């Protein structure tokens, strides 16, 4: 299985528009972060988690020429706003399968009504196949994907376990029973916004506590704010098996 971090930034991305914060001014490519998303490839299958406003650029960067579907964590704009840019995949492949919670599909139907409508569709508008997911395993390619239910302040969000790989983003709280589903995972990706407390995201300490509990072989931090600091400085402070993810990082497992 190959994982490509398409984006590792929080909702505004890094640099933030108009910001003079030193991290936003950094020349280090590892300090430039598009909105959060990952590409997961195994055998002949290619899935992407979330479809934020940087989706087009991310697909170009990753030289991705086909996707078997998009899996959504939740409906916030930094995870869904790039939906129109599935068009090139739609033109080549036909209707694109979407996997999301019922509530998330409803939100997308409202925001992108022209994509989800059956009537008088403008030529060239993409079409999707809606798959509702609940908090129980579902099939993607030849894998049984296990949803991990968590909360982003009060909003339900899904993380996903693909065999030995698990991806959690935009989480603030996860029930113990859900954490148990991560037992034995080799690579865990978890959101870590910044050091200071935040109402809807894990802080660095909270992310590290979860990693300590799950004990994966390696862990990667994502959904990062410029307030967390420079990539190279933060990396030095992290435990041995924990890495700050950065855009275009690829890992194999």
Residues contributing to the site for Zn ion (CB under 5 A): 78, 170
Alpha carbon separation from 77 to 25, 41, 82, 83 (Å, rounded): 25, 24, 8, 10
Least spacing, CB of residue 7 vs Zn ion, in Å: 10
For the sheet containing 187-191, what is the strand order?
Answer: 138-140, 143-152, 155-162, 165-167, 187-191, 218-222, 242-244
Of 4 and 222, which has the nearer Cβ to Zn ion? Answer: 222
Least Cβ distance, residue 11 to Zn ion (angstroms): 5
**CB nearer to Zn ion: pick between 7 and 216:** 7
Q: Which is nearer to Zn ion, 75 or 78 (CB)?
A: 78
State the minimum distance, in angstroms, from the CB of residue 193 to Zn ion: 9
Output the smallest distance, CB 66 to Zn ion, in A.
26
DSSP tally for the chain: helices H, then strands E: 9, 14
Of residues 32 and 79, the one with the C-beta less far from Zn ion:
79
């Amino acid at each position: 299985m190959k994982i490509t971090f398409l984006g590792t930034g929080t909702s505004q991305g890094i640099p933030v528009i108009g910001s003079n914060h030193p991290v936003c001014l950094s020349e280090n490519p590892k300090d430039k972060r598009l909105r959060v998303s990952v590409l997961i490839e195994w055998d002949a299958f290619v899935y992407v988690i979330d479809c934020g406003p940087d989706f087009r650029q991310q697909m170009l960067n990753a030289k991705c020429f086909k996707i078997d579907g998009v899996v959504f964590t939740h409906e916030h704009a930094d995870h869904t706003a790039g939906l129109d840019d599935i068009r090139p995949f739609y033109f080549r492949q036909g209707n694109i399968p979407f996997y999301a919670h019922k509530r998330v599909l409803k939100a997308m139907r409202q925001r992108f009504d022209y994509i989800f409508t059956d009537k008088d569709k403008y030529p060239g508008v993409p079409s999707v196949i809606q798959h509702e997911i609940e908090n129980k395993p579902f099939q993607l390619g030849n894998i049984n994907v296990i949803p991990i239910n968590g909360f982003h302040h009060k909003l339900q969000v899904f993380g996903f376990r693909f065999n030995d790989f698990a991806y959690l983003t935009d989480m603030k709280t996860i029930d113990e029973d859900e954490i148990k589903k991560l037992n034995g995972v080799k690579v865990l990706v978890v959101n870590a916004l910044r050091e200071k407390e935040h109402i809807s995201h894990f802080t660095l300490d909270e992310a590290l506590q979860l990693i300590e509990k799950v004990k994966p072989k390696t862990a990667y931090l994502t959904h990062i704010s410029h307030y967390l600091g420079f990539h190279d400085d933060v990396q030095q402070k992290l435990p041995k098996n924990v890495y700050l993810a950065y855009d275009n990082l690829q890992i194999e497992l």
